[in-house]
Amino acid sequence: MLIFDIIVTGLMMGAFYSLMAVGLSLIFGILKVVNFAHGEFFMVGAYTYTLLSLNLGIPLWLALPCSFLLGAVVGWLTERLLMRPLYDKYTTWSVMRDEYAIIVTFGLSLFLINLANQIIGPYPYRGPQLVDWSRIEIGPLMISGHRFVASLLASAMLAAIYLFVRYSRWGKEIQAVAQNRLGASISGINSTRVSSIVFSLCGGIVAFSGGLLAPLFHAYPAVGIFPALKSYVVVVIGGMGSIVGSIAGGLLLGLLESFGAVYISYAYRDTFGFIILMIVLLIRPHGLFGEKVREV
Amino acid sequence: MRGGSRIRTVRELRVSILFLAIVAVLPYFVIVPYWRGVLIVAMYFALVSAAWNLLAGYTGQFSLAPAAFAMIGGYGSGLLCYHFGISPWIGIPCGTLAATVIGLMLGRIVLRLRGPYLALTTLAFAEIVRLVISNEYEITRGDLGLSVTPLFEHQLNYYYLFLFLLVVVQIGLYYLVRSRAGLYLQAIRDDDLAASGRGVNVVLWKTVSFAVSSGICGLAGAFYVHFIRLASPELGLILQTGLVIAMVVIGGMGTLIGPLIGAFLVQLSSEALREVGLSHMLFFALTVILFGRFFRSGIWGGIDFLRDKWETRSESKEIMEAGGSE
């Protein structure tokens, strides 16, 4: 049952991709900018999980929420210190906001990578597996135990994020600001606070996925580059700013890669996503589910 | 823009010529081959930064692929040299041409995209090129890289060759920027809709800017490969692009001299910091964030601003002394 195997592997990887990307998508929804330091939030989570559990002996189920918390703090700081000029209406940067966001987040990305390199060192740490079972058999399938548990957790997290944004009060405020920042402000929503919430939430989610995937990706300073690139592909496929879109985009990318790796070329599995990204941006810039790009 | 953009450009050219003149006499004081090598690398980065600045600073097309185009140029020449034994003097123009043509095509493709969409597309392009080069082991020798023949025996020849290229590119960019075409590019950067309303052929000039910028990157990459005698996929890493962006932002985006200042400052001080044992990249990343956040116009922008302030003050003093007659 090769095909069944490919589908399950693809979907599990896809769930991870979705979890990595959903934060990027939310930030884009609120601020209309791409966070190029996204991968470094992932790194923060991977290091937190790995170092807490290996060095301090903190139990794994507690280390994961710690990843989330530290990621949220980093996200909050990023928004507080670097993203505020984007809302100022009368500065040079409000005209060149895309450039500003790219420069600052790119700088932040370099900064965090080198900070980790300086403090923790360039050597990779392997994160401990969540469960002891190395293989689970489900019918004809053999799945690595950690991957299976991690993909369940990722799905649960995605569902929680979806419900949070859809139904909670803060979530509704996020939706309102994403639709129309000015309109939301007029109806009494504190849009600055919403941006803070979104950034903390996104930092937390990405860092959580970093912790979750630390046994697979390990923790080292540049670990975030790969997940960040995957997240860009996912949000572009799914449409920037849409949660359902990034979930669908992630699953699609996971399936595409696992099919492509088997039937097209294993060495080129990482390029498929980029090719799709370029094609989608050129043909349908708002993605499969995303908002329309106003200016083309 | 504050008044007199033409005067501003002339001033920038003068300062860059002065700057390059200082660089030209530097080898008489810098005897250590290592530091001469550092200066050559700085000149390579100055070329790539100047090219990227034309695209991002003057045309407003924030591409994330300059390192990829340098890599294309380098491999264009490197492959010809490695497989067919063709002289670098023929290979380098071929590499440059390859980068220009690919730049033209990419520029044409990404025409409609802007902001984050453009950045992501060019990033994807850069990654595809890098992955193809590191995967096609039979042709490119993958991550090991191609060893290529050097151009000269002597290091000083490389030094003056790169200096010559830098002078040519700088003067060429000066004429481009102050020409009608340069004004078109800046008009597109400021507002492409308004520019096209005024009769600027936005499609044409955006593409031209992309092609010229990629060509210069390719040229720099092709020469650089023969200087370090190795064409490797590391030339095209995203971190290299990050370095180029850092240089331009620190020096001053959208100015002629900014990339020069930035490239030399970053390259030289990173070597100096390395000797002290500090992480130089940490320092520059922080500098980029701070500059991006607080001084958008970079070092040259700061100098220019102070100069303007001083001039207006002395002018107004003159007017006051003349009795305030308007």
What percent of chain A has a predicted confidence (pLDDT) above 70?
91
* Local confidence band at A96 (pLDDT 50, 70, 90 cut-offs): low
pLDDT of residue A289: 61
Yes or no: say if A70 and A204 are a contact pair by the CB < 8 Å rule: no
Over range A154-183, report the average pLDDT.
Answer: 88
pLDDT of residue A135: 74
Using a CB-CB cut-off of 8 Å, the residues of chain A touching B282 are 111, 114-115, 117-118
Give CA–CA dist B191/B207, Å, rounded. Answer: 16
Name the H helices within A189-242: 191-212, 214-217, 225-238
Q: Count other Cβ atoms within 10 Å, centred on residue A136.
A: 15
pLDDT of residue A94: 47
| Cβ separation B117–A281 shorter than 8 A | yes
pLDDT per position as a tens digit, B36-72? 888 889 999 999 999 999 988 888 888 888 999 999 9
| Cβ separation B279–A117 shorter than 8 A | yes
CB contacts < 8 A, A to B, total 126
The alpha-carbon gap from A286 to the nearest alpha carbon of chain B, in Å, equals 10
CA distances from B167 to B46, B50, B183 (A): 11, 11, 22
The alpha-carbon gap from B32 to the nearest alpha carbon of chain A, in Å, equals 29
Q: Which two tokens stand for residue B164?
A: 């010559």
Mean pLDDT over each residue of chain B, to the nearest integer: 83
Using a CB-CB cut-off of 8 Å, the residues of chain B touching A274 are 124-125, 127-128, 131
| Answer CATH for A2-283 from 2.40.128, 1.10.10, 1.10.3470, 1.20.5 | 1.10.3470
Residue of A nearest to B134 (CA): A267
How far is the first Cα of chain A from the last one, in angstroms, to the nearest whole number? 45
ipTM above 0.85, yes or no: no
Lookup result for tokens 């023929």: B90
pLDDT of residue A119: 85
- Judged by CB atoms within 8 Å, which residues 92-121 of B form the interface with A? 109-110, 112-117, 119-121
Yes or no: say if A45 and A208 are a contact pair by the CB < 8 Å rule: yes
pLDDT per position as a tens digit, A241-283? 778 888 888 998 999 888 888 888 777 777 888 888 878 877 7
Give CA–CA dist A289/A232, Å, rounded. Answer: 15
Measure CB to CB from residue A110 to each of B62, B132, B285 and give the nearest one.
B285
pLDDT of residue B278: 63
Over range A192-198, report the average pLDDT.
Answer: 88
**B234 — contact with chain A (CB < 8 Å)?**
no
Name the H helices within chain A: 2-31, 38-55, 60-78, 92-95, 97-119, 145-167, 169-179, 181-186, 191-212, 214-217, 225-238, 243-263, 269-283
**Cα pseudo-dihedral A209, A18, A155, A171, rounded to 10:** 90
| Cβ separation A103–B249 shorter than 8 A | yes
pLDDT of residue A30: 81
The alpha-carbon gap from A279 to the nearest alpha carbon of chain B, in Å, equals 9
The alpha-carbon gap from B322 to the nearest alpha carbon of chain A, in Å, equals 36
Yes or no: say if B264 and B179 are a contact pair by the CB < 8 Å rule: no
What percent of chain A has a predicted confidence (pLDDT) above 90?
14
Classify domain B2-325 by CATH number: 1.10.3470
pLDDT of residue A93: 46
Give CA–CA dist A44/A207, Å, rounded. Answer: 6
Using a CB-CB cut-off of 8 Å, the residues of chain A touching B288 are 103-104, 106-107, 110-111
Q: Determine which helix (DSSP H) or strand (DSSP E) holds A138, and give its type and residue range.
A: strand A135-138
pLDDT of residue A5: 82
Measure CB to CB from residue B116 to each of A33, A81, A268 and give the nearest one.
A33
Over range B83-88, report the average pLDDT.
Answer: 80
pLDDT of residue B3: 46
* Local confidence band at B325 (pLDDT 50, 70, 90 cut-offs): very low
**B245 — contact with chain A (CB < 8 Å)?**
yes
Of A93-97, B39-43, B193-197, B202-206, minimum mean pLDDT range: A93-97
Give pTM, 2 decimals.
0.84
Give CA–CA dist A131/A146, Å, rounded. Answer: 6
Using a CB-CB cut-off of 8 Å, the residues of chain A touching B134 are none
* Local confidence band at A88 (pLDDT 50, 70, 90 cut-offs): low
**B286 — contact with chain A (CB < 8 Å)?**
yes
| Cβ separation A274–B124 shorter than 8 A | yes
What are the beta bridge partners of residue A137? Answer: A142
pLDDT of residue B277: 64
**Better-predicted residue by pLDDT, A133 or A8:** A8
* Local confidence band at A293 (pLDDT 50, 70, 90 cut-offs): very low
pLDDT of residue B314: 76
pLDDT of residue A89: 57
Using a CB-CB cut-off of 8 Å, the residues of chain B touching A271 are 127-128, 131-132
- pLDDT score of B29 more than 90: no
Measure CB to CB from residue B128 to each of A82, A98, A271 and give the nearest one.
A271
The alpha-carbon gap from B189 to the nearest alpha carbon of chain A, in Å, equals 10
Q: Determine which helix (DSSP H) or strand (DSSP E) holds B218, and give its type and residue range.
A: helix B202-228
* Domain regions of chain A by residue span: 2-283
Q: Count other Cβ atoms within 10 Å, centred on residue A3.
A: 9
What percent of chain B has a predicted confidence (pLDDT) above 70?
96
- pLDDT score of B151 more than 80: no
Of A17-21, A148-152, B161-165, B188-192, minimum mean pLDDT range: B188-192
pLDDT of residue A296: 29
pLDDT of residue A286: 66
**B194 — contact with chain A (CB < 8 Å)?**
no
Over range B131-144, report the average pLDDT.
Answer: 80
Q: Which two tokens stand for residue B167?
A: 């002078």
Using a CB-CB cut-off of 8 Å, the residues of chain A touching B250 are none
| Cβ separation A85–B128 shorter than 8 A | no
The alpha-carbon gap from A191 to the nearest alpha carbon of chain B, in Å, equals 21
- Judged by CB atoms within 8 Å, which residues 196-215 of B form the interface with A? none
